[in-house]
Amino acid sequence: MDVKPWDDETDMKKLEEAVRSVQLEGLLWGASKLVPVGYGIKKLQIMLTIVDDLVSVDSLIEERLTEEPINEYVQSCDIVAFNKI
């Protein structure tokens, strides 16, 4: 998942802490890295594993990651790759 900040002044460490603070049954956060986007802005690329019957990706993004207080750091989220077993 790509997590994009509002601007180049966003504290990316706090952004990652805010994202990882979302705890749900069936959600496991994995490795992450910062990837340059341009104009000094970086995005957080983070892996996550979900149990499909317990966690909806859409509700995770719309109801958790882009709502207060996390939206202070997070502008938007995009799924980069999706594997289903």
30: in domain: yes
84: in domain: no
56: in domain: yes
Q: What is the dihedral of CA 17, 18, 19, 20, to 10 degrees?
A: 50
- pLDDT single digits (tens) 8-40: 999 999 999 999 999 999 999 999 999 999 999
pTM of the model: 0.92
40: in domain: yes
Instruction: Please state whether the peptide bond connecting residue 69 to the residue before it is cis, i.e. omega within 30 degrees of 0.
Output: yes
Query: The CATH number of the domain where 42 resides is what?
Result: 3.30.70.60
Count of the separate structural domains present in the chain = 1
Residues 6+ apart with CB under 8 A from 81: none
What is the per-residue pLDDT for 73?
Answer: 96
Instruction: State the residue range of the domain holding 21.
Output: 2-78
66: in domain: yes
85: in domain: no
